[in-house]
């Protein structure tokens, strides 16, 4: 056919960049196809141009689903934070509390992780750092009861934002996913429309499994936004391109460290540029 | 997925029926499918490349080409080669044969599962009639010390008393002295999560190592880790000369290609795997099972 083809050496080089950044084989192939689709035969022989068009393709996929979090849609705006174990949920909540408090919002935190050792203590320290109230129960308590109390407290204290932490859980554990759904229902019952945002936290060091995580958490609790943490390491977090493609989920924030201020809004262009560095 | 792979192989080889001998090109086609499977399982790009080259050499050196069941034959080579790379047949038990108290240090990236695994290890050692002391040397993460203390309470293992204001090296040294006086035979050092590119914090681990001389330095890695596993593992190994690896969160559905990557770049054995959040969810590592899991079998 007359179709443009990127030559084998360049293809292997690009594959290495994209695969190494955790985009996955399928997305990588789709992107290369899209590039070949767009370019003429002679253009496809120009490595510079190919790279440039490839970046554009990625940026446009991410930009197409990109949308900032609208905090004004409800009051209190209820945000539930979910994800697998150890990805950075609690830390991200601490950072968000700090960010929004500094912008004049009244924030309340709910310590919905009653399972992991000292999870509530950890959140309480973040609450102190941001100067916000933390609603917590004893370890081993019912997380639904925490959600209930936190929702009540957010309303009573006229909070602008309630951030509810949840215990890390693998998306494959049916009973734990059921528990999340129950927490969701409790929030909804207490505050109509809640949770207004369900944030799935993904660790940038995670590989292809992040796509399955996103799919299953979305199915279970209607995730509408992502936070990509640990981008301060050497992992690139390229799986979010596949997630944008397949599930249309936007990245709301990225985590770039363990400190309270190490959180940034997501910028598709910057993200893609970093993939090639 | 195993059936998948067999099917794909069959298709590759079926095309050739009646055309005489298989060619090198046909083996390459089959191995292209293996490459895909490994990349989808998160095995590192470069590691896959080397692996495929090794399998190709072995396949061509044998009579796969004349075999009646070339698909099975190639799969067998792939499996064997993978299991070998994963450490099949090598010893991977913890080595605690030293003068007590024997220090065991856990290290790794943030959130990998170190603190939980310290608890699991303590429980497992206790069941082997040892007397471990848990040592909280993470002064950075909010409530990290409290987390380890809670874990210790849950399994009834003593946790050395330390404070966030103290130097981690001093904490470990004081814990050793305390253990000597109080009859503990093993020290389990829970260090803070850190990035491999954070040279200051990596040097802190070096200072702990140089002072305590741990018998085991275990790199704790999340089974869901992607391509970056090689960079991280290589750095930790270069800086610390780790003695082994613990792979956590294998109770999920991650294919765990990171195991192969880590093993390939460090050459160090994977000794234990974490199979859940509960403190008894620690198991020995089986290279052959891991190989099958990575292949999706
Ligand atoms: N380098 C880096 N570390 C991070 C970032 N976000 C979180 N962490 C660290 O990752 C580790 C785990 O963070 P947590 O906030 O406890 O994660 P979690 O998802 O709440 O964990 P569980 O509740 O146990 O499931 C901690 O050591 C954090 O300091 C980030 O953006 N960069
Ligand atoms: N499902 C599952 N979860 C695990 C496993 N091991 C640890 N976890 C969970 O992973 C999360 C992080 O574990 P931690 O032990 O706090 O990890 P860490 O490496 O000490 O984290 P930092 O100290 O912040 O670097 C917790 O939610 C643990 O319960 C495992 O084998 N399976
Ligand atoms: K992790
Ligand atoms: Mg947490
Ligand atoms: Mg820890």
Tell me the pLDDT tens digit for each residue of B72-122.
777 788 888 998 899 998 889 999 999 999 999 999 999 999 999 999 999
Q: What does chain A come to in residues?
A: 277
Which pLDDT belongs to residue B6? 65
Contact B142 A122 (CB under 8 A): yes
- Structure letter (DSSP) for residue A206: B
List the single residue in A with minimal CA-CA distance to B224. A206
Cα–Cα distance for residue pair A225/A22, rounded to 1 Å: 20
Q: Which residues contact B151 (CB under 8 A, 6 or more apart)?
A: A117, B115, B116, B118, B119, B134, B159, B279
Q: Which residues contact B208 (CB under 8 A, 6 or more apart)?
A: B105, B137, B168, B169, B172, B189, B191, B214
Cα–Cα distance for residue pair B30/B11, rounded to 1 Å: 9
Q: Which residues contact B180 (CB under 8 A, 6 or more apart)?
A: B101
Q: Pick from A210, A234, A236: which is nearest to B197 by CB?
A: A234
Cα–Cα distance for residue pair A164/A182, rounded to 1 Å: 14
Ligand number nearest CA of B254 is: 2
Residue A109: exposure state from Cβ atoms within 10 A (0-12, 13-18, ≥19): buried
A227: part of which helix (H) or strand (E)? Answer: strand A225-229
Closest to B171 measured CA to CA, from B159, B162, B184, B183? B162
The rounded Å distance from CA A86 to ligand 5 centre is: 10
CB contacts < 8 A, A to B, total 135
Cα–Cα distance for residue pair B148/B146, rounded to 1 Å: 5
- Structure letter (DSSP) for residue A226: E
Question: Which residues in chain B touch residue A20, judged by CB atoms under 8 angstroms apart?
Answer: 44-45, 227
Cα–Cα distance for residue pair B215/A186, rounded to 1 Å: 50
Q: Are A31 and A58 in contact (CB under 8 A)?
A: yes
Q: What is the pLDDT along chain B (297 residues), one digit of tens a residue?
A: 445 666 766 676 666 554 545 667 778 888 888 899 999 999 999 999 999 999 988 888 776 666 667 777 777 888 889 988 999 988 899 999 999 999 999 999 999 999 999 999 999 999 999 999 999 999 999 999 999 999 999 999 999 999 889 999 999 999 999 999 999 999 999 999 999 999 999 999 999 999 999 999 999 999 999 999 999 999 999 999 999 999 999 999 999 999 999 999 999 999 999 999 999 999 999 999 999 899 887
Q: Strand A77-82 vs strand B282-284: parallel, antiparallel, or unpaired? A: unpaired
For an interface test with A, the pick among B52, B227, B233, B246 (most A C-beta atoms closer than 10 Å) comes out as: B227
Contact B232 A234 (CB under 8 A): yes
What does pTM read for this prediction?
0.96
Cα–Cα distance for residue pair B118/B121, rounded to 1 Å: 5
Cα–Cα distance for residue pair A184/A172, rounded to 1 Å: 18
Which pLDDT belongs to residue A76? 98
Q: Strand A107-112 vs strand A161-166: parallel, antiparallel, or unpaired? A: parallel
Q: Which residues contact A152 (CB under 8 A, 6 or more apart)?
A: A190
Cα–Cα distance for residue pair B234/A258, rounded to 1 Å: 23
Contact A209 B252 (CB under 8 A): yes
Give the number of the atom of ligand 2 that is nearest the alpha carbon of residue B111.
21
Touching B: A residues 116-175, CB under 8 Å: 116-118, 121-122, 124-126, 139, 170-172
Q: Are A151 and A78 in contact (CB under 8 A)?
A: yes
For chain A, residues with pLDDT lower than 70 are 1-2
Cα–Cα distance for residue pair B57/B67, rounded to 1 Å: 16
Tell me whether A233 touches chain B (CB under 8 Å).
yes
Q: What angle do CA B261, B296, B39 make, to 5 degrees?
A: 40
Which pLDDT belongs to residue B77? 86
Q: Are B105 and B175 in contact (CB under 8 A)?
A: no
Which pLDDT belongs to residue B279? 98
Which pLDDT belongs to residue A238? 98
Which pLDDT belongs to residue B21? 55
Which pLDDT belongs to residue B73? 77
Q: Which two tokens stand for residue A223?
A: 């995730």
Neighbours of B2 (CB within 10 A): 13
């Amino acid at each position: 056919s007359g179709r443009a083809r990127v030559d084998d050496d360049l293809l292997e080089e690009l594959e290495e960049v994209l695969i190494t950044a955790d985009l996955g084989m399928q997305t990588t192939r789709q992107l290369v196809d899209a590039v070949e689709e767009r370019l003429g035969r002679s253009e496809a022989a120009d490595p510079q141009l190919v790279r440039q068009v490839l970046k554009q393709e990625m940026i446009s996929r991410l930009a197409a689903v990109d949308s900032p979090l609208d905090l004004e849609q409800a009051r209190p705006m209820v945000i539930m934070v979910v994800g697998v174990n150890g990805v950075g949920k609690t830390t991200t909540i601490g950072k968000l509390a700090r960010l929004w408090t500094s912008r004049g919002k009244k924030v309340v935190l709910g310590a919905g992780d009653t399972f992991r050792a000292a999870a509530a203590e950890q959140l309480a320290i973040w609450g102190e750092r941001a100067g916000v109230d933390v609603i917590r129960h004893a370890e081993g308590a019912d997380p639904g009861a925490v959600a209930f109390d936190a929702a009540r407290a957010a309303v009573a204290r006229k909070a602008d934002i309630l951030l509810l932490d949840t215990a890390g859980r693998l998306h494959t554990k049916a009973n734990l996913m059921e528990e999340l759904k129950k927490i969701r229902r409790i929030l909804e019952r207490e505050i109509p429309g809640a949770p207004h945002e369900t944030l799935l936290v993904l660790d940038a060091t995670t590989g292809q499994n992040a796509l399955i995580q996103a799919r299953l958490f979305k199915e279970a609790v209607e995730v509408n936004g992502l936070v990509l943490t640990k981008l301060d390491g050497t992992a690139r977090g390229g799986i979010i391109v596949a997630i944008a493609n397949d599930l249309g989920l936007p990245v709301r924030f990225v985590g770039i460290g363990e400190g309270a201020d190490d959180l940034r809004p997501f910028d598709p262009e910057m993200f893609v540029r970093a993939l090639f560095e | 997925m195993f059936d998948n792979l067999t099917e794909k192989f069959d298709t590759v080889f079926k095309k050739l029926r009646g055309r005489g001998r298989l060619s090198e090109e046909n083996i390459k086609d089959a191995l292209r499918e293996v490459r895909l499977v490994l990349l989808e399982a998160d095995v590192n790009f470069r590691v896959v490349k080397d692996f495929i080259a090794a399998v190709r050499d072995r396949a061509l050196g044998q009579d796969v080409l004349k075999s009646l069941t070339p698909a099975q034959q190639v799969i067998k080579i792939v499996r064997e080669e993978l299991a070998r790379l994963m450490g099949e047949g090598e010893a991977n038990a913890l080595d605690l044969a030293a003068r007590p108290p024997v220090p065991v240090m856990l290290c790794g990236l943030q959130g990998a599962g170190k603190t939980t695994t310290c608890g699991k290890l303590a429980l497992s050692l206790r069941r082997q009639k040892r007397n471990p002391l848990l040592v909280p040397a993470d002064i950075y993460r909010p409530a990290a010390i409290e987390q380890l203390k809670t874990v210790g309470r849950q399994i009834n293992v003593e946790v050395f008393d330390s404070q966030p204001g103290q130097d981690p090296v001093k904490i470990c040294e004081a814990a050793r002295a305390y253990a000597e006086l109080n009859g503990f035979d093993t020290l389990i050092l829970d260090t803070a999560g850190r990035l491999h590119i954070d040279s200051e914090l990596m040097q802190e681990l070096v200072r702990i190592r140089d002072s305590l001389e741990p018998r085991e330095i275990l790199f704790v890695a999340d089974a869901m880790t992607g391509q970056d596993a090689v960079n991280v593992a290589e750095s930790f190994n270069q800086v610390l000369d780790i003695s082994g690896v613990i792979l956590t969160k294998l109770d999920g559905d991650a294919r765990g290609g990171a195991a192969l990557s880590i093993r390939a770049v460090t050459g160090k054995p994977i000794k234990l795997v974490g199979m859940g959040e509960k403190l008894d969810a620690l198991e020995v590592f089986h290279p052959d099972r891991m190989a099958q899991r990575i292949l999706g079998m």
